[in-house]
Amino acid sequence: MEANSVTGQPHGAAVPATQAGRMRAAVDRAVAVGPGFLRGDIDADHMANTMVQAVRNYTEQEQAAGSDGVSRGAETQALQGVLTELMACGSGYLAGRYDAACVARTMTQIVHEFGPH
């Protein structure tokens, strides 16, 4: 199935109505790929690109929703920190500032915190 170029989700998939929902969806995109990366099934380039694209998709959804991007409330502020880490680690790896071990540490923590239990 082809993805929507704005949301990054399959065509017909609903974009969450709230900022927190869009943030959780972005984290979930990275978490969905994380276990495969941590098992060695997916390389660090793919993982880093997934991390960056998840945050970019969230940003595009916020703009489409007319949001000013300011996190309001404890949940969205906490999730903003996670999105910031995903972008910093993923883009840092892609720019050669971080190594695959850094990506692994970040994804280990995020999968542990946000993955299925």
C-beta contacts of 80-83 below 8 A and 24+ residues apart: 80/23, 82/23, 82/27, 82/110, 82/114, 83/23, 83/26, 83/27, 83/55, 83/58
Q: Where are the domains of the chain?
A: 19-114
- What pLDDT score does 1 carry? 36
- What pLDDT score does 13 carry? 63
Decide if 15 contacts 61 (C-beta within 8 A): yes
The 10s digit of each residue's pLDDT in 64-117 is: 999 887 888 899 999 999 999 999 999 999 999 999 999 999 999 999 999 987
The 10s digit of each residue's pLDDT in 4-57 is: 443 344 444 677 889 999 999 999 999 999 999 999 999 999 999 999 999 999
The 10s digit of each residue's pLDDT in 56-73 is: 999 999 999 998 878 888
